[in-house]
Amino acid sequence: MWRNIQNRLRRRRFRFFLALLATVPRPLTILDVGGTPDFWEQMQFADEGVTLTLYNLDPLQLAPSPGAIGQIVGDARNMTAFADQQFDIVFSNSVIEHVGDLQQQAAMAQEIQRVGRRYYIQTPNRYFPIEPHVLLPMFQFWPRQWQIWMLTHFKTPWGWRLESLEEVKEYVAGIRLLTGNELRHLFPGACLYRETFLGLTKSLTAYRGW
């Protein structure tokens, strides 16, 4: 059930992005930081005027496609492959919470604002009561040792379980959810779109330049 809710919310969020995208003249370029082709396929995105580039730490397997899609391997915190304002739009969906501490997140945010004329950066809200990666109440506020104990002894409600203590430690260390105030600090001058569920803010999106 929760997976279906997540998909509905993701599609609603993407419709908001498409409304922004409609205001930008074609042809245009989009850099998706941390994105996958599966995401764009699930969103049924098709726009012949858009050149889409996926940017990840590791290479992806891209199936042959008639659309204009490519990939570049690199670090979101140091996008030296790109010139200032090289892309019309920088897009990122649920990635900035995985790049490290606040300093590392700031490095990613600075690079996004450097290489893009516009940006659209979504991330889960730290204060939403259900932690989205493990689907446990208030998991993001548990002491680290409690988080590790839970994930080493039980499957998550998603149905997956990590194989080793080292994997669990790496996993919990790799998530730092952001608050609205932190996102505003990382992207000064941005508008903030709040996605709500049952009257609570589930995710946050910083966008600017539209």
The b-or-e profile of 8-31 (16+ CB within 10 A means b, else e) is: eebeebbeebeebbeebeeebbbb
pLDDT per position as a tens digit, 194-207:
999 999 999 999 99
- Name the domain count of the chain: 2
pLDDT average, residue stretch 83-111: 98
Tell me the residue ranges of DSSP E strands in 2-75.
Answer: 28-33, 50-56, 69-73
pLDDT average, residue stretch 41-66: 86
Worst-scoring range by mean pLDDT, 24-38, 130-144, 153-167, 169-183?
153-167
pLDDT average, residue stretch 100-124: 98
pLDDT average, residue stretch 92-112: 98
In terms of domains, do 89 and 156 share one? Answer: no
Residue 56 token pair? 């990840």
Scanning the structure block, which residue is given the tokens 């993407």? 14
In terms of domains, do 150 and 181 share one? Answer: no
pLDDT value, residue 163:
86
pLDDT value, residue 56:
97
In one-letter notation, the amino acid at residue 113 is Q
pLDDT value, residue 63:
64
Q: How far is residue 128's CA from residue 197's CA, in Å, rounded to a whole number?
A: 9
Distance of CA 20 to the CA centre of its chain: 17
Q: Kindly tell me if the per-residue pLDDT of 34 is higher than 80.
A: yes
Q: Rounded mean pLDDT of the chain? A: 93
Question: Which DSSP symbol is given to 25?
Answer: P
In terms of domains, do 191 and 97 share one? Answer: yes
Give the Å distances, CA to CA, from 148 to 54, 60, 166: 32, 29, 10
Residue 151 token pair? 């994930």
Q: Kindly tell me if the per-residue pLDDT of 173 is higher than 50.
A: yes
In terms of domains, do 18 and 109 share one? Answer: yes
pLDDT value, residue 203:
97
pLDDT value, residue 1:
66
In one-letter notation, the amino acid at residue 168 is V
Residue 199 token pair? 């009257």
Q: What is the pTM of this model?
A: 0.93
pLDDT value, residue 2:
62
In terms of domains, do 102 and 167 share one? Answer: no
- Domain CATH code at residue 53: 3.40.50.150
For 153, the domain range is 134-174
In terms of domains, do 21 and 50 share one? Answer: yes
pLDDT value, residue 65:
54
The helix or strand, by DSSP H or E, that contains position 142, with its residue range, turns out to be none
In terms of domains, do 93 and 150 share one? Answer: no
pLDDT value, residue 66:
47
pLDDT per position as a tens digit, 9-27:
889 999 999 999 999 999 9
Q: How far is residue 180's CA from residue 124's CA, in Å, rounded to a whole number?
A: 10
Task: 83-86: list long-range contacts, CB under 8 Å, 24+ apart.
Answer: 83/115, 84/114, 84/115, 85/114, 85/115, 85/116, 85/117, 86/29, 86/31, 86/115, 86/116
pLDDT value, residue 126:
98
In terms of domains, do 53 and 74 share one? Answer: yes
In terms of domains, do 138 and 120 share one? Answer: no
Q: Kindly tell me if the per-residue pLDDT of 100 is higher than 90.
A: yes
In terms of domains, do 77 and 111 share one? Answer: yes
Q: Kindly tell me if the per-residue pLDDT of 62 is higher than 90.
A: no
Q: How far is residue 97's CA from residue 79's CA, in Å, rounded to a whole number?
A: 17
pLDDT value, residue 8:
85
In terms of domains, do 94 and 121 share one? Answer: yes
